[in-house]
Chains A and B, each alone.
Chain A
Amino acid sequence: MMKSLLHYVALVLWLALIASTPLFADNYTIRIAISLTMFSAMAVSWNFIGGFTGYPSFSTAAFFGIGCYVGAIAQRNGVPLVLAWVLASVFVAVFAALLGAIILRLKGHYFAIGSIAIVEVTRLITSSWGSLTGGGDGLNVPLLQGNPQEVASFVLYVMLSILVLAFCTSIYVDRSKLGFALKCISQNEDAANMVGVNTTVYKIIAYTLSAVFCGTVGAVYASWIGYIDPTDSFSILLTVKVPVMVLLGGAGTVFGPIVGAGAFILLEEVFWANFLEWNRAILGLIIVFLIFFLPNGLLKLDYNRLFKRLINKKARTPRTMDGTS
């Protein structure tokens, strides 16, 4: 109980820090803050299907990309800003529910591959459907009004709201009948069926929840950046990054995705800044490291034990100047 209270306090402080960046920081830092909230929101979303339900979905980029395009196309056709975002979210939710009814019949690796294929297929359709989407030339999205600083803070607060909404949904799911059903499915789907869990319906709900916030994030992102194209919107890197963040933090936990997204984005910033050429290779190394040493994520580590072990080690080897012990 104390521990979870501590988690909540830490989270509130962290969100407050992010929210206060426009007050003291430059535009570059605000960009990082936006990126943090954006990815945290998508990581929290992915956790519904990948964490709670245990279905390794790689379709995040498809939801994000469709959100970008529906939001952009709606705005270009005169739909007001906020309504365009809502429209994009609803469209993505319906898309995910219909798609989920089909591909959630697959399990394990098959589901993973099927969900990656969704990203490729949606990207190809978007780049081929030139009359609607502008094809490979991309689309210009009506710019947000205001100076860069104002626009950035506005986008930051919208992204933060999406994150908070996604997070509250995940707390609710974690404690509700829905969450219980998802945990049953992730641990033993046949047994879940046998105790009366309508696995098909619950999986579709989880998949839809994992999509809807990504759709909103995509639409807001499109409005912020002002220009979208198929490769940027349906990026395969995005679809891999989000699950890695959740695994880094701790899949299936409420706080894991936010911890993971935070750690990942900050590490990425450091690597971009210092090792521009090696950035992707380092992402690969992080994934390998995760699988071998942190299969349950940062949150599940036993920090007390780790700390004690380090202290004991130091105590046992008192004077090794070179540090090889």
Chain B
Amino acid sequence: MTEILRLEHVGKSFGGIRAVNDVSFSLQQGEIIGLIGPNGAGKTTLVNLITGVHPLSMGKVFFDGEDVSRQQAYQAARRGLARTFQIVQPFPRMTVLENVAAGALFGGQAGSVNAALEMSRAELAFVGLEDFADTPASSLALPNRKRLELAKSLAMRPKALMLDEVNAGLNATEIDGALELIRKIADRGVTILIIEHLMKVVLSISQRILVLHHGELIADGDPGDVIRNPRVVEAYLGSKFAARVQAEGHHV
């Protein structure tokens, strides 16, 4: 396996607050990695650091062998480092198809507006939104807006995709649909980093789990080991959950 993304001693301070502190890890191509941690642990900040939304206070980020520590957000997108937002960010007055075309045109390889629109139909079909192509993005319901975010990111032909709570606000059936979609995306060879609060979801999909607490990486490894790690249990899972997982003999 080849390494796609590597963080070396990455840190970020907002004023006196260390939001992310000395985080190092690497992602291999085609992996699905779960990133968990309590509220305020710095998960979203970490994604913002990787994608150039916030400048790093310290450390380095390497993407596909290149030092991208000083990149801007739009450069990350063009390099193939895509992300979705916790709160969906559509272009509300454009059609669903145009939203996806924006990804293909600016982040992807489409040479013209028409080519971008053409390419985007395939991505819409991939996420199952082809029937909504010509409706305004603002009229979509939440589950479909999340799908739209995915289609928009996919149109950028990313090498790595960071999903910030794509399942928040979805019901059980909708989550199943979303997970199936995420697996399909991984099958395309896209490395996926998924931020998620529902442990069931994380355990069912991740090949590896990273745990963030107070801005520090406290665990990095196989899901089975991570949920038994005493520090993770104390910081995030709680002893009841750990006991239940043990009792159920969760196969992960």
Q: A residues engaging B (CB < 8 A)?
A: 175-177, 180-181, 183-184, 187-188, 190-199
A196–B113 touching, CB < 8 Å: no
Q: Which residues of B contact A187 (CB under 8 A)?
A: 91-94
A191–B91 touching, CB < 8 Å: yes
A184 to B113, CA, bound (A): 13
Q: Which residues of A contact B83 (CB under 8 A)?
A: 194
Q: Which residues of A contact B77 (CB under 8 A)?
A: 193-196
Q: Which residues of B contact A176 (CB under 8 A)?
A: 113
The verdict on B90 contacting chain A, using a C-beta distance below 8 Å, is: yes
The verdict on B241 contacting chain A, using a C-beta distance below 8 Å, is: no
Q: 22 A-B Cβ contacts within 8 A?
A: A177-B112, A177-B113, A180-B98, A180-B102, A180-B105, A180-B113, A183-B91, A183-B94, A184-B106, A187-B94, A188-B92, A192-B102, A193-B72, A193-B74, A195-B77, A196-B74, A196-B77, A196-B78, A196-B103, A196-B107, A197-B106, A198-B72
A177 to B105, CA, bound (A): 8
The B48-89 residues at the A interface (CB cut-off 8 A) are 51, 53, 72-74, 77-78, 82-83, 85, 89
Asked whether A184 and B74 contact (CB < 8 A) given A177-B112, A192-B102, A195-B152, the answer is no
Q: Report the minimum CB–CB distance from A68 to chain B (whole Å).
A: 37
A197 to B83, CA, bound (A): 14
A287 to B98, CA, bound (A): 33
Q: Report the minimum CB–CB distance from A81 to chain B (whole Å).
A: 40
Q: Which residues of B contact A181 (CB under 8 A)?
A: 106
Q: Report the minimum CB–CB distance from A202 to chain B (whole Å).
A: 10
Q: Report the minimum CB–CB distance from B87 to chain A (whole Å).
A: 10
A191 to B83, CA, bound (A): 10
Q: Assign chain B's interface to a size class.
A: 20 to 34
A183 to B93, CA, bound (A): 9
Q: Which residues of B contact A192 (CB under 8 A)?
A: 91, 102, 106
A280 to B229, CA, bound (A): 74
Q: B residues engaging A (CB < 8 A)?
A: 51, 53, 72-74, 77-78, 82-83, 85, 89-94, 98, 101-103, 105-108, 112-113, 152, 156
Partner of A195, one of B72, B103, B113: B103
Q: Which residues of B contact A195 (CB under 8 A)?
A: 77, 102-103, 106-107, 152, 156
B102–A197 touching, CB < 8 Å: yes
Q: Which residues of B contact A175 (CB under 8 A)?
A: 113
B91–A194 touching, CB < 8 Å: no
Q: Which residues of B contact A180 (CB under 8 A)?
A: 98, 101-102, 105, 113
Q: Report the minimum CB–CB distance from B144 to chain A (whole Å).
A: 16
A145 to B108, CA, bound (A): 56
Chain A residue with Cβ nearest B111: A177
A190 to B72, CA, bound (A): 12
Q: Which residues of A contact B156 (CB under 8 A)?
A: 195-196
A190 to B77, CA, bound (A): 12
A153 to B172, CA, bound (A): 72
A193–B91 touching, CB < 8 Å: no
B105–A194 touching, CB < 8 Å: no
Chain A residue with Cβ nearest B117: A180
Chain B residue with Cβ nearest A175: B113
A188–B74 touching, CB < 8 Å: no
A318 to B112, CA, bound (A): 57
User: Among the interface residues B73, B92, B102, B156, which one has the most CB atoms of the partner chain A within 10 A?
Assistant: B102
A194 to B53, CA, bound (A): 9
A199–B74 touching, CB < 8 Å: yes
Asked whether A197 and B74 contact (CB < 8 A) given A180-B102, A184-B91, the answer is yes
Chain B residue with Cβ nearest A201: B74
Q: Which residues of A contact B108 (CB under 8 A)?
A: 196
Q: Which residues of B contact A193 (CB under 8 A)?
A: 53, 72-74, 77
A198 to B89, CA, bound (A): 17
B74–A198 touching, CB < 8 Å: yes
Q: Which residues of B contact A197 (CB under 8 A)?
A: 74, 102, 106
Q: Which residues of B contact A198 (CB under 8 A)?
A: 72, 74
Q: Report the minimum CB–CB distance from A52 to chain B (whole Å).
A: 12
A187 to B95, CA, bound (A): 12
Asked whether A184 and B89 contact (CB < 8 A) given A176-B113, A177-B112, the answer is no
